[in-house]
Amino acid sequence: MTRVPKQPTVAVARKRRTPAPPEETFLGMPAFRHGAKNALANTQQRRNLRHATGTIRAKRAAVVGEVADWEGLRRAGEDVKNDVLAHLDSYLVQFEEQFTKAGGTVHWASDADEANRIVTDLVRATGADEVVKVKSMATQEIDLNEALEDAGIAAWETDLAELIVQLGHDRPSHILVPAIHRNRSEVREIFLEEMGRYGTAAPGDISDSPPELAGAARIHLREKFLRAKVAISGANFAVAETGTLVVVESEGNGRMCLTLPETLISVVGIEKILPSVADLEIFLQLLPRSSTGERMNPYTSMWTGGGSGDGPHDVHVVLIDNGRTNALGRLHGRSALRCIRCSACLNICPVYERVGGHAYGSVYPGPIGAVLTPQLRGITSDIDASLPYASSLCGACFEVCPVRIDIPELLVQLRHEVVEKKSHARVPSANQAIFAGASWMMADARRLTAAQKLASAASRILPKSGHLGPLPWPMSKWSNARDLPNPPAESFRDWWKREHEGGRP
Amino acid sequence: MTGENLEASVRPTAITDPGAGRPGAGKTVALFATCINDTMFPQTPKAVVSLLERLGCRVEFPLGQTCCGQMFTNTGFFDEALPTVRRYAEVFAPYDYIVAPSGSCVGSVRDQHPMLAERTGDRSLVERVRAVTARTLDLSEFLVDVLGVTDVGAYFPHRVTYHPTCHSVRVAKVGDRPYRLLQEVRGITVVPLPAADQCCGFGGTFSVKNPDVSVAMGADKAHHVMETGAEFVVTGDNSCLMHIGGVLSRLNSGIRPIHLAEILASTEGAHP
Ligand code: SF4
């Protein structure tokens, strides 16, 4: 496969500094089923996803199975997060006090634009024209890299998978493993083609063995680490009691960013609060086991404010809302804010496994994306309205979620919201008419009986093969790839009436 | 007529109970056939009737019943689901045991009816709904927990594989009851299904709202079923079975879908 990097179509005065992401934006994406259809046709991606999710599922199951009271741990995690969400106002103020006392500066951003503006100004104030980044979902969510690029500041992703995505002119398709849709031969091609344009090139004779690929990334990144004056991170947890931020990672590249530069800016969702340091005991068990399938992640970095010794002296946190208070105000939706972004629900999801992340039209794909995105953005677009339906409601996500988010229940509640929204349209949709009709029928057994008689009558004139093959629309949605059994000559209730009630059906 | 005689004449004695001596003796069961079985798969509720009667139960089929309403609820049409909730609570109110051959519909009744009733703010409806939904059981639960049997006297000399449907496991929580029932069937060979816990892709209206993903999931399930070399694929839910069977049929796999109840109902003299 040869890769053609996308070039910006509009003429820009200044040359881009970092690789351009794909042109289409998430919000402009079509409804889920269209994106899903394209994704299903990508057989390489399907093989990659099946392999990767299968491996990580097995690892998770093994390390979760060895915890004596995993259920108790899940409930403890759920309780702490529920407490945080119920008293978020006071915990946030407490966090601000403590963070400030420790020498850091707290900034508040109500939406993505405001957060991007704050970060851009902070970077500009240092005089730097580039930053290194720790893997962070919050900065993906606000599309910080592009905001910085527009301001002439280069943002370098340093997480290996994020680097692959960035160099590949791609979008992340997974919370934890953003390049999960790529296999190593694709990674090799991306490195060979792109690394040299943005820094140290990959060796020309590089193979697709993981150690060689990691080695190339190490050399490419090291140069950026040593040069960087500013780092940008997210945080897995923000401890209110002490004002401490916590980042959990596997590679150590995050640790490099968090310790080498002089200025550290962390962009953190307001729901990341934990009341006390002691609560980490629960979450540092729940997260790695659910996430990477490890007992403990290799690197856990914690910092409380700035200082005059080693590490960054100038420390900032930008606390972002960006739709979170919207979700917080919902009785059912609120529970989605318990999410610790472990990605267990993505890895277990049969829909995600086949379709991958891009069809979800958001940096949050999979089951959690399907319930979080429509709440953060509001159900404003086709893609948002289709997300709650992007699930067979099999319930596997709820079973693995370390903070017990009942995702199937949330999906059903959000579907109800979509239906309500559409019911205000002046012209009722075909869907509404069908369900209103079916509801009328099911309200009264006599009406159901009448419908069954029609089906039985049809069965008498249908071919005797026992099943129906391809049928015209709308039945084609079923029958394009599946046969349908012939309706029986007699419904159960007619048989019952004949046999037991002595009456004529 | 003396008082003593009168009492003796109206109280049924053990001798007159047709189920006497059998596990279901003295138990009256209301069969909730479910709309899809009633309309498309009448052989399944018929099998439930013959099985439960064989075990000594008295089976009634309240004719006012329609549907659990799950297709409305799960698509987001809560108001449209409500008539089925009211109807269900009314029709089944008189019964101690309401039994359905569907983990999914039972799950919907127990899990979603109370939520839908709560939305109306009508306390008396909520009370009635809670009472009746708590008495609703999947066939496998009724057999194992209430009748206390796993050997139901069935005979089915075939190689089968069982797919535990998602809602039967994760919503109704029937656990390993269907396996225990299958294991006791004489003549049967039960082959484990690879990746059994993965969804088959039916998902109610998901199967037509996202047909491509649904079929991709169904194709994987069908391939796993074929790997087992089974003659029959068994589930406790005809809706999922219609999907898996539809894919298997299109592939001309020669593997037949069958509901658990039909296997449990078959005996030496009569099996499909
Ligand atoms: S919803 Fe639960 S399982 Fe999914 S990413 Fe969040 S915490 Fe993990």
Residue B227 lies in a domain: yes
How is residue A208 written in tokens? Answer: 């697709």
- Dist CA A481 CA B246 (whole Å): 8
Listed in sequence order, the residues at least 6 apart from B46 whose beta carbon sits closer than 8 Å to its beta carbon are A492, A495
**Between the CA of residue B205 and those of A379, A389, B208, B211, what are the distances in Å?**
20, 9, 5, 9
pLDDT in tens, B81-123: 999 999 999 999 999 999 999 999 999 999 999 999 999 999 9
Flag if B64 and A452 touch (Cβ within 8 Å): no
Rg (CA), chain A: 26
How is residue B151 written in tokens? Answer: 């050997």
Residue B32 lies in a domain: yes
CA atoms in the 13 A half-sphere facing the CB of B120: 19
- Dist CA A133 CA A155 (whole Å): 7
At A439 the pLDDT is 79
Average pLDDT, chain A: 91
At A335 the pLDDT is 96
The neighbour count for residue B20, using CB atoms within 10 Å, is 12
Closest chain A C-alpha to B205 CA, distance in angstroms: 8
Judging by beta carbons within 10 Å of its beta carbon (0-12, 13-18, 19+), is residue A198 exposed, middle or buried? middle
The H or E element that residue B159 is part of is strand B159-162
Residue B68 lies in a domain: yes
What's the B84 CA to ligand 1 centre distance in angstroms? 34
Q: CA A243, A287, A359 angle in degrees (round to 5)?
A: 110
Question: Residue B258: phi, psi to the nearest 5?
Answer: -150, 145
Across B61-88, b (16+ Cβ under 10 Å) vs e yields bbeebbbbbbbbbbbbbbbbbbbbbbbb
- Residues B97 and B54 occupy one common structural domain: yes
Range of the domain at B172: 159-265
Residue B153 lies in a domain: no
Judging by beta carbons within 10 Å of its beta carbon (0-12, 13-18, 19+), is residue A190 exposed, middle or buried? buried
Q: Looking at the partner chain, which of A32, A388, A480 has a beta carbon nearest the beta carbon of B211?
A: A480
At B147 the pLDDT is 97
Superfamily of domain A10-324: NagB/RpiA/CoA transferase-like (3.40.50.10420)
pLDDT range class, residue A263, cuts 50, 70, 90: very high
At B3 the pLDDT is 41
At A157 the pLDDT is 97
- Dist CA A9 CA A347 (whole Å): 36
Listed in sequence order, the residues at least 6 apart from A102 whose beta carbon sits closer than 8 Å to its beta carbon are A242, A243, A304, A305, A306
- Dist CA A56 CA A352 (whole Å): 14
Residue B152 lies in a domain: no
User: Which residue is it, tokens 């080693």?
Assistant: A310
User: Which residue is it, tokens 């399930």?
Assistant: B221
**Which of the listed residues A340, A362, A363 should we mutate to test ligand 1's pocket, taking the one with most ligand atoms within 8 A of CB?**
A340
SS (H, E, C) A377-410: HCCCCHHHHHHHHCCCCCCHHHHHCCCCCCHHHH
At A94 the pLDDT is 98
Pick from B146, B167, B196: which residue ends a domain?
B146
Flag if B216 and A396 touch (Cβ within 8 Å): no
DSSP three-state, residue A241 = coil
DSSP state of A443: T
- Predicted structure pTM score: 0.92
At B138 the pLDDT is 98
Q: How many residues does the structure list for chain B?
A: 272
pLDDT at B27 over 50: yes
Across A62-83, b (16+ Cβ under 10 Å) vs e yields ebbeeeeebeebbebbbebbbe
pLDDT range class, residue A470, cuts 50, 70, 90: confident
- Residues B12 and B114 occupy one common structural domain: yes
User: What single letter denotes the amino acid at residue A208?
Assistant: D
pLDDT at A11 over 70: no
Question: Residue B161: phi, psi to the nearest 5?
Answer: -130, 145
- Residues B51 and B167 occupy one common structural domain: no
- Dist CA A279 CA A164 (whole Å): 34
Q: CA A477, A481, A486 angle in degrees (round to 5)?
A: 80
pLDDT at B5 over 90: no
Question: Residue A437: phi, psi to the nearest 5?
Answer: -65, -45
pLDDT at A10 over 70: no
* Nearest partner of B140 among B51, B211, B233, B210, judged by Cα: B51
Determine contact: B1 vs chain A, CB below 8 A: no
Distance of CA A299 to the CA centre of its chain: 22
Determine contact: B76 vs chain A, CB below 8 A: yes
Judging by beta carbons within 10 Å of its beta carbon (0-12, 13-18, 19+), is residue B192 exposed, middle or buried? exposed
Residue B154 lies in a domain: no
SS (H, E, C) A303-334: EECCCCCCCCCEEEEEEECCCHHHHHCCCCHH
pLDDT at A8 over 80: no
**Between the CA of residue B119 and those of A37, A463, B53, B85, what are the distances in Å?**
36, 46, 39, 12
Structure-model confidence comparison of residues A420 and A235, the more confident one: A235
pLDDT in tens, B134-188: 999 999 999 999 999 999 999 999 999 999 999 999 999 999 999 999 999 999 9
Question: Residue A41: phi, psi to the nearest 5?
Answer: -80, -10
CATH number at residue B214: 3.40.50
B 212-251 residues with CB < 8 A to A:
212-219, 242-243, 245-247, 249-250
- Residues B42 and B141 occupy one common structural domain: yes
Percent of chain A with pLDDT over 70: 94
How is residue A350 written in tokens? Answer: 């049969």
Q: Looking at the partner chain, which of A448, A484, A488 has a beta carbon nearest the beta carbon of B42?
A: A488
At A429 the pLDDT is 73
The neighbour count for residue A425, using CB atoms within 10 Å, is 9
CA atoms in the 13 A half-sphere facing the CB of A138: 32
Percent of chain B with pLDDT over 90: 89
Across A238-242, A266-270, A279-283, A305-309, least confident range: A305-309
At A427 the pLDDT is 66
Q: Which residues of chain B lie closer than 8 angstroms to A458, CB-CB?
A: none
B67-72: average pLDDT: 93
User: What single letter denotes the amino acid at residue A485?
Assistant: P
At B245 the pLDDT is 95
At A478 the pLDDT is 84
- Dist CA B257 CA B158 (whole Å): 13
Residue B67 lies in a domain: yes
Pick from B113, B146, B179: which residue ends a domain?
B146
The H or E element that residue B189 is part of is strand B189-191
CA atoms in the 13 A half-sphere facing the CB of A438: 20
Q: What is the number of structural domains in chain B?
A: 2
Pick from B93, B125, B146: which residue ends a domain?
B146
* Nearest partner of A349 among B76, B244, B213, judged by Cα: B213
Top-ranked range on mean pLDDT: pick from A33-42, A485-494, B82-91: B82-91
- Residues B255 and B133 occupy one common structural domain: no
pLDDT in tens, A323-364: 999 999 998 889 999 999 999 999 999 999 999 999 999 999
**Which of the listed residues A290, A334, A391, A406 should we mutate to test ligand 1's pocket, taking the one with most ligand atoms within 8 A of CB?**
A290
- Dist CA A26 CA A32 (whole Å): 11
- Dist CA A373 CA A72 (whole Å): 29
- Dist CA A91 CA A240 (whole Å): 6
Kindly list the domain boundaries of chain A, sorted by start residue. 10-324, 430-500
Q: Looking at the partner chain, which of B77, B216, B245 has a beta carbon nearest the beta carbon of A354?
A: B216
- Residues B245 and B115 occupy one common structural domain: no
Residue A291 CA, closest ligand 1 atom number: 8
